[in-house]
Each structure stands twice: as C-alpha cells, then as structure tokens.
C-alpha cells in the first residue's frame, strides 16, 4: 500500500517537474498556461490519489477527494480567466506563421 | 416558486449537512446538532434565489462521463509531456473557432471546462455558443474539432447534435 502510494506521488511529482520545465521553455502566455494545466490534471490527480491511498479508507480520504473535485472544477476556471484576460488585453498568441 | 419551497429547502439542507459531515469529521451530538442548525440556516437564507444553471443538471450521467474525460486527460497529458521534453520543442499553436450545438447552459459550461481541463487546449473566449479555443498543436485540438467531446456531452444532456 505504501509502495503504491509513494509510486503515485513520485509519478505526480514527475508531471509537476515537467510542467515547471514547460513553463520556462514555452514562448508566450497561452502556451505556458497549457504547461501549467499539466499540474492540475495528472500532477495533482496522482499526488492526491497517492496521499489518499497512504491515508487509507476514512474521513481523510473523503476530504482529499473533496479537494480533488474542487481542484478539477476550479483550476480550469482560473486558467480560462488568465488566458481570457491576456486575450482581451490584446496579447496576440504566436501562431505558426510568425515563427 | 412557493410550491417548490420545502423541497428545495430540504434538498439544500441535506447537501450542506453532508458537506459538514465530511469536513468536520466529529460525530458527537454537539457537532451534529450544530451542523444541522447551520445547514438549516444557510439553506433558509438561500431559498429566495432563482435557479442556478445546475437546476435539472444530470449529475448521474456527468459522473458516468468523467472516466472518459479522465482517459482523454491522461492521453493528452502524455502528448504534451512529449512535446515539452522534446529538445526541438515542436509546437504549432493554433486558435480554433468552434460553434457548438449544445443548448443547455450547463452543457456549455461543462464543454468549456472539459476543454480547459484537457492539457493542450484552453478555452479563450465563450460567446453564446461560439468557442474560441487555443490549442498547442492540431493533435491536441482534435477532440474538439472532430466533435467527439461535444457528442459525449450531447449524450450527457440527452440532446441531439445531428442538425449539422
């Protein structure tokens, strides 16, 4: 059980590191926010799933699941708000033609 | 909406009380009674408000939809990871305009949310049924452009999208 939990957490941390690398490497706000959305999809899902397995069945597992559901509902909202604000402020996304 | 007053009040109270039970984690009489009183009070304060988009929301089918979404999220996460770790960074960002045929407001919200949750695509702007989506390359945007995601949501909300 502990091995499975640690494996899941390490797997999630790998995606968090990839997201950090992506945030540094990618060129503009739109593509960077794609990299950030890696953290809330596989990164957070794996880390929180690992934590809930480590806790075992009980009230703490339910609490972690509540956090996970809220994260999956709210993180896209934040990403969308950031990107829409950038778009409305006149930031033009780099497309294939101007590279 | 006087007729639906007690039903809505009871449903809200029960939902709030469930949240209380999960978050407090204490099951002695004091905390149970306190939680029930607070849920009743909050539900009573909220009875006057008009229905949210979550009225008539098919929760059961949304739960059935989520494993499919989860698989898509995993697949596109791996695709994006490959793109980021590739030394030549082979990204071809595009803006996709997409007109959806979904009518339920909750369906539009869920489509925008699913698109943004999937790594590699982000909803930039929603105007009625028109979506402006930024995708990191064409493969990432394929679920949307082929209408695959919309078909799943049409099933969730029992709408037909065949008029195209």
CB within 8 Å of B160: residues ≥ 6 apart = B154
Q: B100 falls in which pLDDT band (50, 70, 90)? A: confident
In a domain, A54, yes or no: yes
Enclosing H/E stretch for B37: helix B29-45
Q: Say what the pLDDT of residue B52 is.
A: 60
Selected for mutation to probe chain A from B27, B122, B126 (highest A CB count within 10 Å) is B122
Residue A95 lies in a domain: no
Q: Tell me if A98 is assigned to some domain.
A: no
pLDDT the model gives residue B33: 92
Whether A46 has a pLDDT exceeding 80, the answer reads yes
Enter the ipTM.
0.82
Question: What is the per-residue pLDDT for B55?
Answer: 65
| Average pLDDT of the residues in B78-99 | 86
The beta-carbon neighbor of A38 closest among B77, B95, B121 is: B77
If you measure CA to CA, which chain A residue comes closest to B140? Answer: A34
Cβ contacts of A83 on chain B, cutoff 8 Å: 122-124, 134
Residue A16 lies in a domain: yes
Query: Is A84 within the bounds of a domain?
Result: yes
Q: What is the pLDDT of residues A15-28, one digit of tens each?
A: 999 999 988 888 88
Q: Do A38 and B93 lie within an 8 Å CB cutoff? A: no
- Is A23 within the bounds of a domain? yes
CB neighbour list of residue B62: distance below 8 Å, 6 or more residues apart: B110, B156
Task: Verify whether the Cβ–Cβ distance A30 to B134 is below 8 Å.
Answer: yes
* More confident position, A85 or B52: A85
Domain that holds residue A21: 2-90
pLDDT band for position B127 (cuts 50, 70, 90): confident
Query: B5 is written with which tokens?
Result: 């007053």
Flag whether A50 is in a domain: yes
Q: Give percent of chain B with pLDDT exceeding 90.
A: 7
* C-beta separation of B74 from A42 below 8 A: yes
Q: pLDDT value at position B44?
A: 87
Q: What is the pLDDT of chain B when averaged over all its residues? A: 83
Residue of higher predicted confidence among A58 and B39: B39
Distance CA A39, CA A17 (A): 9
Both tokens of B75, joined, read: 């697949």
Domain count of chain A? 1
% of residues, chain A, pLDDT over 90: 21
Helical residues (DSSP H) of A1-43, grouped into ranges: 2-25, 29-38
Mutate one of B81, B123, B133 to test the A interface: name it (highest A CB count within 10 A): B81
A99 pLDDT more than 50: no
């Amino acid at each position: 059980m502990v091995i499975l939990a640690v494996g899941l957490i390490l797997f999630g941390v790998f995606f968090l590191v990839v997201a950090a690398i992506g945030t540094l490497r990618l060129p503009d706000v739109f593509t960077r926010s794609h990299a950030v959305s890696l953290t809330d999809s596989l990164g957070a899902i794996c880390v929180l799933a690992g934590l809930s397995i480590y806790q075992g069945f009980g009230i703490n597992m339910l609490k972690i699941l509540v956090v996970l559901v809220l994260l999956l509902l709210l993180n896209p909202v934040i990403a969308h708000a950031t990107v829409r604000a950038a778009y409305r402020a006149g930031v033009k996304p780099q497309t294939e033609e101007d590279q | 909406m006087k007729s639906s007053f007690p039903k809505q009040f009871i449903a809200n109270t029960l939902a709030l009380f469930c949240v209380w039970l999960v978050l407090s984690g204490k099951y002695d009489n004091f905390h149970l009674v306190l939680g029930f009183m607070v849920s009743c009070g909050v539900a009573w304060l909220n009875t006057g408000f008009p229905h949210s988009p979550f009225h008539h929301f098919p929760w059961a089918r949304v739960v059935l939809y989520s494993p499919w979404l989860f698989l898509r999220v995993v697949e596109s996460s791996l695709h994006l990871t490959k793109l980021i770790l590739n030394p030549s960074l082979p990204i071809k960002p595009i803006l996709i305009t997409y007109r959806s045929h979904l009518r339920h407001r909750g369906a539009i919200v869920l489509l925008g949310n699913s698109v943004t949750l999937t790594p590699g695509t982000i909803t930039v702007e929603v105007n009625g049924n028109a979506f402006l989506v930024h995708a990191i390359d064409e493969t990432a945007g394929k679920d949307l452009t082929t209408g695959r995601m919309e078909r799943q949501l049409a099933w969730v909300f029992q709408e037909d999208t065949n008029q195209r």
